[in-house]
């Protein structure tokens, strides 16, 4: 990026605007970059990047919320007596059955959730709250614990 001193901008604003029409011009004060003058098309070209960054940040927040919700559910499961643990796991299994009957979910998720729900509770919780060999995010997104009345996950 081409740079000019702030005093030059003040004294030669028209010339700096003409240069900025061709590309960004940095404005320096005491040899530090303090501003930039950019052409409108430059902003339009770079704005989608900002929108994508914002969308990625929002998605990361959603995933963080899902992870925390599954961690909280995991703590509740681990602290619950065995009959309550079984009841919650059975309710999640019924949700997976519903997915399969209605073809509401990919067979990959159905098979993985069945396998996870067959694990001892401690291992189930570890899987739900981990990367799970690259499947953690997707499994939390498609969780049978999000059904009404099954845990506090949403």
Long-range Cβ pairs for the range 123-126 (8 Å, 24+): 124/77, 124/89, 125/74, 125/77, 125/78
pTM for the whole structure: 0.63
Categorize the per-residue pLDDT at 49 as very low, low, confident or very high, splitting at 50, 70 and 90.
low
Tell me, which fold does domain 2-38 have in CATH? YefM-like fold (3.40.1620)
The whole-number pLDDT of residue 147 equals: 64
Instruction: Answer whether 127's CB lies under 8 Å from 119's CB.
Output: yes
| Runs of H (alpha helix) within 40-129 | 40-79, 82-101, 107-117, 121-128
| Boundaries of every domain in the chain | 2-38, 59-146
What confidence tens digit (pLDDT) does each residue in 50-107 have?
778 888 899 999 999 999 999 999 999 999 999 999 999 999 999 999 999 999 999 9
pLDDT higher for 41 or 21? 21
């Amino acid at each position: 990026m081409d740079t000019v001193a702030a005093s030059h901008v003040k004294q030669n604003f028209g010339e700096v605007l003409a240069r900025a029409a061709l590309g960004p011009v940095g404005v320096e004060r005491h040899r530090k970059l303090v501003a930039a003058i950019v052409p409108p098309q430059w902003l339009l070209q770079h704005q989608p990047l900002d929108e994508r960054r914002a969308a990625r940040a929002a998605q990361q927040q959603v995933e963080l919320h899902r992870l925390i919700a599954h961690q909280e559910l995991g703590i509740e499961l681990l602290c619950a007596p065995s009959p309550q643990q079984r009841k919650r796991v059975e309710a999640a299994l019924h949700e997976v059955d519903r997915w399969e009957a209605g073809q509401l979910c990919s067979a990959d998720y159905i098979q993985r959730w069945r396998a996870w729900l067959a694990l001892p509770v401690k291992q189930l919780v570890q899987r739900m709250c981990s990367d799970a060999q690259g499947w953690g995010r997707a499994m939390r997104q498609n969780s049978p614990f999000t059904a009404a009345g099954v845990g506090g996950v949403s």
